């Protein structure tokens, strides 16, 4: 198998296309809010949502009826052309590469709104060749349309093969911005026996040991605690490692039980703690949850700043509240402090909250 040389990796794939980025900017993207541009009620709400959510995503793939595919594509063009997105990013999810719609999605969107589109989400990515295909065609379309900044690619992991190839997918192009989990298609492809869109399952659990009777046998009638487990832990952890290795960003994905805002928050927080930078919002109610969960808490920032102040040049070990802090815990604290600074730049309420935290002298 032949590979590109390192220097060729950052050359445009078409004459006249913008130069690929060497670093993927760490733009806040706590919630990627999905809307169906063919749904007039939903579409009408989008201009007013600018500034309330980090990413607005016009969805063209699943959840858009086959009869509405063209209307969704054209609706997205209209909304994008008519809206000033300010600090809010505009993304789209195109149809899958084996669908009859994807070519028209790309050849319509790039010339019409390519300058406004930050990221194109590609569903059902199986292998690096899928990314290479989109990479080349984007370069050709960008060159033809005179687009000045490269449109980035985000892959959804929603097949077993995609998960198996995750590292190669992340490294397939300098356009790769990140990955999201697609738990519904992934569950189907893996033949998991679930019927949900993300989240846990009451049957996937660990049960406390049974007390033993005098005969030494388990008491099966005893009440025992059960702990529901996270079906997505393995995949998220694998995504996080692949993304961190390649300098791109991992995201959770959809949580379909819209009314269960508590379980949604838990699932999002698990992903945040494991290293994800954001998640999807399918309904306006999920934006607030995502913004809260994917912004470091006041307690975390207060603690992190204390550690930064106590650690001086960043080496050695100190005790704070009975716990050892050293070079490595300092680095964790800096992850939180730097994230808070990035978010404060675009979120004035959050900036006020973080500014109000008393910070010890360095």
Ligand X SMILES: CC(C)(COP(=O)(O)OP(=O)(O)OC[C@H]1O[C@@H](n2cnc3c(N)ncnc32)[C@H](O)[C@@H]1OP(=O)(O)O)[C@@H](O)C(=O)NCCC(=O)NCCSC(=O)C[C@](C)(O)C(=O)O
Please tell me whether residue 79 adopts helix, strand or coil conformation.
Answer: helix
- Of 292, 300, 303, 299, the closest CA to residue 349 belongs to 292
Whether 241 has a binding-site annotation, put simply, is no
CA angle 325, 344, 284 (to 5 degrees): 115
Residue 38: CB minimum distance to ligand X, A: 11
Instruction: Give the residue with the Cβ less far from Mg ion, 186 or 336.
Output: 186
What ranges make up the beta strands (E) of the chain? 31-35, 55-59, 89-93, 119-122, 152-157, 176-181, 205-207, 226-228, 249-251, 279-281, 317-320, 323-326
* Cβ within 8 Å of residue 166, ≥6 positions away: 157, 179, 238, 239, 242
| The one segment of 56-64, 69-77, 96-104, 329-337 that binds ligand X by CB under 6 A | 56-64
Residue 272 interface partner, choices ligand X, Mg ion, none, CB cut-off 5-8 Å depending on type:
none
Whether 11 has a binding-site annotation, put simply, is no
Instruction: Give the residue with the Cβ less far from ligand X, 39 or 173.
Output: 39
Whether 269 has a binding-site annotation, put simply, is no
Q: Is 158 a binder of ligand X (CB under 6 A)?
A: yes
Please tell me whether residue 273 adopts helix, strand or coil conformation.
Answer: helix
Residue 135 interface partner, choices Mg ion, ligand X, none, CB cut-off 5-8 Å depending on type:
none
CA-to-CA distance for 301 and 286, rounded, in angstroms? 24
- The site string for ligand X over 164-183 (x = CB under 6 A, - otherwise) reads ------------------xx
Residue 75: CB minimum distance to ligand X, A: 13
Q: In what order do the strands lie in the sheet with 55-59?
A: 249-251, 176-181, 152-157, 119-122, 89-93, 55-59, 31-35, 279-281
Residue 158: CB minimum distance to ligand X, A: 5
Residue 234: CB minimum distance to ligand X, A: 16
Interface pick for ligand X out of 34, 249, 252, 255 (rule CB under 6 A): 34
> Strand 55-59 relative to strand 89-93: parallel, antiparallel, unpaired?
parallel
CA-to-CA distance for 37 and 289, rounded, in angstroms? 23
- Give the containing element (helix H, strand E) for 305: helix 298-310
Dmax over CA atoms of the chain, in Å, equals 81
Q: Is 42 a binder of ligand X (CB under 6 A)?
A: yes
Residue 282: CB minimum distance to Mg ion, A: 12
| The one segment of 32-40, 222-230, 266-274, 320-328 that binds ligand X by CB under 6 A | 32-40
Interface pick for ligand X out of 105, 130, 185, 325 (rule CB under 6 A): 185
Residue 350 interface partner, choices Mg ion, ligand X, none, CB cut-off 5-8 Å depending on type:
none
The answer to whether 281 touches 266, Cβ cutoff 8 Å, is no
Residue 289: CB minimum distance to ligand X, A: 14
Interface pick for ligand X out of 14, 70, 97, 258 (rule CB under 6 A): 258
Q: Is 199 a binder of ligand X (CB under 6 A)?
A: no
Q: Is 41 a binder of ligand X (CB under 6 A)?
A: yes
Residue 63 interface partner, choices Mg ion, ligand X, none, CB cut-off 5-8 Å depending on type:
ligand X
Residue 48: CB minimum distance to ligand X, A: 10
Window 264 to 283, contacts with ligand X (CB under 6 A): 282-283
CA angle 15, 20, 25 (to 5 degrees): 155
Q: Is 59 a binder of ligand X (CB under 6 A)?
A: yes
**138 CB-contact burial (10 Å; exposed 0-12 / middle 13-18 / buried 19+):** buried
| The one segment of 22-30, 38-46, 237-245, 292-300 that binds ligand X by CB under 6 A | 38-46
Tokens 């207060």 correspond to what residue? 302
Q: Which residues bind ligand X (CB under 6 A)?
A: 34-36, 41-42, 45, 59, 62-63, 156, 158, 182-185, 197, 253-254, 258, 282-284
């Amino acid at each position: 198998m032949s590979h590109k040389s390192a220097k060729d990796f950052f050359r445009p794939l078409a004459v006249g296309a913008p130069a690929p980025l060497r670093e993927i900017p760490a733009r806040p993207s706590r919630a990627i809010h999905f809307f169906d541009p063919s749904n007039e009620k939903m579409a009408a709400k989008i201009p007013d949502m600018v500034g309330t959510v980090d990413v607005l995503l016009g969805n063209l793939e699943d959840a858009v009826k086959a009869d509405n595919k063209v209307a969704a594509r054209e609706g997205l063009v209209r909304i994008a052309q008519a809206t000033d997105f300010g600090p809010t990013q505009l993304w789209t999810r195109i149809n899958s590469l084996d669908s009859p719609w994807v070519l028209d999605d790309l050849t319509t969107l790039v010339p019409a709104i390519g300058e406004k589109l930050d990221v194109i989400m590609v569903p059902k990515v199986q292998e690096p060749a899928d990314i290479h295909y989109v990479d080349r065609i984007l370069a050709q379309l960008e060159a033809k349309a005179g687009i000045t900044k490269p449109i980035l690619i985000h892959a959804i992991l929603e097949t077993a093969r995609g998960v198996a190839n995750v590292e190669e997918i992340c490294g397939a192009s300098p356009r790769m911005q990140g990955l999201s989990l697609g738990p519904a298609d992934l569950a189907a492809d893996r033949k998991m026996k679930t019927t949900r869109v993300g989240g846990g399952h009451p049957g996937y659990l660990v049960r406390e040991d049974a007390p033993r009777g005098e005969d030494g046998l388990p008491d099966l009638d005893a009440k025992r605690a059960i702990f529901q487990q996270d079906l997505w832990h393995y995949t998220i952890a694998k995504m996080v490692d692949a993304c961190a290795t390649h300098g791109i960003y991992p995201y959770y994905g959809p949580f379909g039980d819209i009314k269960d805002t508590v379980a949604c928050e838990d699932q999002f927080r698990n992903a945040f703690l494991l290293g994800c930078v954001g998640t999807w919002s399918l309904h306006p109610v999920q934006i607030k949850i995502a913004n809260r969960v994917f912004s470091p808490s006041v307690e975390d920032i207060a603690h992190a700043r204390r550690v930064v102040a106590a650690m001086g040049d960043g080496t050695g070990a100190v005790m704070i509240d009975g716990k050892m802090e050293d070079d490595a815990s300092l680095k964790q604290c800096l992850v939180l402090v730097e994230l808070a600074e990035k978010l404060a730049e675009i979120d004035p309420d959050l900036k006020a909250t973080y500014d109000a935290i008393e910070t010890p002298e360095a």
